[in-house]
Structure 1
Amino acid sequence: MAITIESIRDAVGGLKALLPEDFRPEIGIIGGSGLSALEEAVEEPRWEVPYGKIKGFPVSTVSGHAGKLVFGHVGNEKTPTVMMAGRAHYYEGHELQTATFPIRVLALLGMKILIVTNAAGGLNSTYKVGDVVVLHDHINFAGLSGVNPLRGPNLDDFGPRFIALSDAYDLELRRAAHLAWKDISKEKLRQMAMHEGVYAFVGGPNYETRAECRMLSMLGADLVGMSTVPEIIVARHSGVRVLAISLVTNVAVMDPGPRGDAILLAETDETELSEMLKEGEANHEDVLEASRHAAQEIKALIVRIVEVEASKR
C-alpha cells in the first residue's frame, strides 16, 4: 500500500471514531519485544484497538508483540497517552514506509512525544543483561544502503525532503530519564544500571555473527537491534520529540571463537565442539524472558518521565 497523506488521514479518522471526542494522546509509547506489559502503565478508562482493525496498520507476527493500540492516561497528571503494544519489523516482510505508518497516524492524532523501547544486544563490555540504555545516537546500516522509511515521494504535510538527525534524541528528555532513574532508585535497591549509548540498526531476523559484532563495536555502537531507528526517523520527520530506551537482553558474543585448525589434534568429541560454539548464543526466548523480568522497572521509569513532562505544562 502506498503511504499518502490521504491514507494516513483515513486511519486517523477511523481511530477518532473509536475514541471519546475530546481524547487526543500527547504521549506515544512503543513496547518492544516482551515489553507489552508496559501497557499496565496506561490507566483506566482505556480503549484498546487491535492493529488489524485499523486501516493501513501492519500486523506484527512476532512473539512478544501483542499488536494493539492502548489508549488511556499515565501518571499523576493523567496525561493522555497511547501505547503501541508491539511493532512491525522490516524482517517480517514489511516495507519500512508501512512499518512506520503507525507513527504517522499517531503524530496526526496529536502525539507530541514518542518514547520508544526495545530489546537489544549489548556490544559495550560494561553492559550487563538487564541494564537500561538511553540512546543518544544511532548507526543506520540499512539506511546507509538506501533502505529508509523516507524513501519515495516526500510527505510535505509532515516535514521537509531532507531532515537533520543530529538532534534526533531529545536532550531534555534524556536528562529527564536520568533524573527519573536516580529518583526511583532511591525508593528501591536495584542491580540494573542506566547508561547512554549508540544503537546500531540491522535488518535481521538472524542475530549477528561474532565478526559483525566486533565490527559494530569498532564503529562505535554500544547496542545492536532490529527496530527503533525507522520509527525515530519518521517521528522526527513528523516533528515529534523522541526518547529511546533499550533494555540489554543479551550480551553479544565478541570473541572470535575456537578455530578449526587449533583443535584438529585435540581429543575433543562432537558434543564438546558444539558446546564451544553455542556459548553465549542469543535466542528469542531468552530475550523475552529478560524483557519480562525488567518490564516493571521500565514501566516505573516511563511513568516518572511522563509525570515530569506533564508538570511543565
Structure 2
Amino acid sequence: MALIIDTRTEPERALAIACETLGEGLPVAIPTETVYGLAADATNPDAISRIYEMKGRPRFNPLICHVADFAMAEAHVTFDPLSRQLAKAFWPGPLTLILPIKPESGVHPLASAGLDTLGIRMPEGFSQHVIARFGRPLAAPSANTSGKISPTSAAHVEADLGDKLRLILDAGAAEIGLESTIIKVDGDDVRLLRPGGLDVADIERLTGKTVLRPETAGAAIEAPGMLASHYAPGAAVRLNAANVKPGEAVIRFGGKSLPGEENAKAVLDLSPSANLREAAANLFAYMKQADASGAKTIAFGPIPNEGLGEAIIDRIERAAAPRE
C-alpha cells in the first residue's frame, strides 16, 4: 500500500520523498487545485510508461505536462502572443494550453502521444512546489484508472490505485474539483478542446474573442478528456432526469427535488444554493458516493449550461456515453 504524507503538516518530508520517488522513475500522486494527479518525470520514457500502465490509459491519449514557472514552460513550448496573454492572466491555475513543442525540449514523445504539440499547465498549490524542487516538468493525468471518476482527495486515490503506488501526497480536498480547461489558439481563433475549471466566459472577456466549441463527432484526439466515454462510474448514468426511478441514486442541483426521490438509494445535491463553483467541487466526490450506494443507475437532475455548468455537463455526458 502507498505511503500517504499530509503536505499541510509535513511539507518538507513530502517534498523530499516525492522528489526521491520521482527521481527513481516512479509515479507519485500529487494534489492540485483541480483534481489529484498521477505525476511522473515527463522527460523519462520509463516513468511515462508507468503512468499509462497504472491507469490502463490508451497511449494515443496525450498527457498534460505541469511546470513550476514560465521559464520551465518556455524551455519546452513556443508561445504565440495570444497564448502568452492567457498564461499570464490565468497561471498558476486551471488552464491548459496546447502549444508547439520546441525541438530542444526534453519532454519525451510518449507524453505528447507523438504529437508536435504539448498540453502544458502551471498548477497552483503544493504540486507547484514539488515541480520546482524536482526541476523538470511532470506529466500528470488524473490519478485514477482510465475512464473512471477523477479523484478529488487522497482517499479517492488510495481506494483506486493505492496498491500500485509508493507515495500519495495529501493536501485535503481539491479546491476546484474539475480538471483544467484546455485551450488551443489557431491563428486568430481560440478553440476550446475541453471545458473545465476555468470559466470560458473569463477567457472571452480577456481576449475579446468568442471561444470556438469543440467538434465532438469524430474529432481527432488533441488533448486529454476528449474521449467520448470518460469519467464513468460503475453505475449507468442518466441525464436531465425529470423523475427518479425506484432504486436509482439521484444527484440534483439547486435544492430542486425530483419526483420519486423518496425511493432513491441516495439523494445528493451538488449545491443547494445553486452555486456552480460549489457544484463543480462536489461533482466527482458525489458521483463516487452515488456509485457506492449500490444503485445501478445514477440520475442527474438538470444543471444550467452556463459558466462552470458547461464543464459539469461535459463530464456527465461523457460519464453517460456508451462504454467500449
Higher helix share: 1
Q: If the length of structure 1 is used for normalisation, what is the TM-score? A: 0.31
**Max Rg structure:** 1
